Amino acid sequence: MLQLLEGRHEEAYLQFEEGVYLAKKLNLEYMKIRFLYALGLFEIATIPDGTLSKAESRLLSAERLASKVPFNEILWQIQSQIGRVCELTGRPEAAAEYKEKARVSHDATLESIPSTHSNAYSKVSVDADLDRLLEDKCALLMESQQVQV
């Protein structure tokens, strides 16, 4: 994360890749999913529209792993981003399908949380999606580097 904030995108990318490798080697499924998701978000933020196949591939891998366990709390976020990639690549039907899957996974997550905490989670997960903020920060950093060049 520090590399992203400092504008060292290549180093950040390599560390995300290393995270996937180590998580796979140590059989840490949740961390592997998180790193694949982070790489997908990173690629969405840094790769020009139309060439998002690698980001989509990483997100689909993360979705496949998250749905096996299941990790609904990250699954809905992954599905939402896959829907976004589908929108960016001109596939509105697939986008709608993944957005619906995300809604169902989000609802399943809310049902699994005790009622005393579900309202707070619902508000945060809809109003202040932290992963979206990370993506926006990456995009701003990329734009500021282009302006400086």
Interval 75-96: pLDDT, tens: 999 999 999 888 888 888 998 8
Q: For the chain, list residues with pLDDT below 70.
A: 1-6, 48-50, 117-149
Is the omega angle on the peptide bond into residue 70 within 30 degrees of 0, that is, cis? Answer: yes
**Position of tokens 């500021």?**
144
- Using a pLDDT cut of 70, give the percent of the chain over it: 71
Q: Kind and range of the H or E element at 36? A: helix 29-46
Query: Is the entire prediction scored with pTM above 0.85?
Result: no
107 closest CA partner among 71, 59, 72, 132? 72
Phi, psi of 24 (to 5 degrees): -65, -45
pLDDT, residue 111, reads 83
- The token duo for 107 is 């609802």
- The token duo for 78 is 């992954």
- How far apart, in whole angstroms, are the C-alpha atoms of residue 80 and residue 94? 11
Distance of CA 89 to the CA centre of its chain: 17
pLDDT, residue 149, reads 45
Phi-psi region of 31 (alpha: psi -120 to 50; beta: other; left: phi over 0): alpha
